Structure 1
Amino acid sequence: MSSNEGATTDVLRILLAIILPPLGVFLQVGIGLHFWLNILLTLCGYLPGIVHAIWVILRK
């Protein structure tokens, strides 16, 4: 995958993470600890879910 394709994929995941944070995390890491943690954070507050999702996507 070229650098441009990777950047496009990251932008798409970030947009999805803003709309539905657990979906962005799922697309990045699958169903695992971060996915379930993100669901919990999103239920506690929408903003913490978004921040966590963006962190998961950008930390690679």
Structure 2
Amino acid sequence: MGAASAIVLVLITIIFPPLGVWMIAGCGADLLINICLTLLGFFPGHLHAFYLEYIYYDRREQAKTGIPNYSRAPGVYSERVQSGGYGYGTVVQPTH
């Protein structure tokens, strides 16, 4: 995703947080949590959605520079968000 798509994602998330979460995490636990938080109040849904987007883009940048982060971000259940969209599905973790 380029800068334009990131801006569109942020604008969509401002309007309706679960849609932004769905766009980066897909249909799963993170989406369900965000829907519940949005129903509890608009602000908690936004916090959760922007946290997921931050983790997604941070991990994406780390993977681009060749320094992937293999530690798990707390409160994120989507493997796609955890990996920044890279290696989704069949990633073999390096052994050190």
Task: Decide: shared fold, TM above 0.5.
Answer: yes
% identical aligned pairs: 39
Segments of structure 1 that go 5 or more residues without pairing to the other structure are none
Alignment partner, residue 66 of structure 2:
none
Q: Which runs of 4+ in 1 moved over 3 A?
A: none
* Alignment map for 1:28-47 (pairs within 5 Å): 28-47=24-43
Q: Which amino acid aligns with 1:26?
A: W
Structure with higher RCO (Cα < 8 A, 6+ apart): 1
TM-score normalized by the length of structure 1: 0.84
Structure 2 residues without counterparts, runs of 5 or longer = 57-96
CA RMSD, aligned part only?
1.1
Aligned length: 56
1:15-54 → structure 2 map (5 Å cutoff): 15-54=11-50
- CA distance in structure 2 between the partners assigned to 1:27 and 1:10 by the alignment: 11
TM (norm. structure 2) is: 0.55
User: Which protein has the larger Cα radius of gyration, Structure 1 or Structure 2?
Assistant: 2
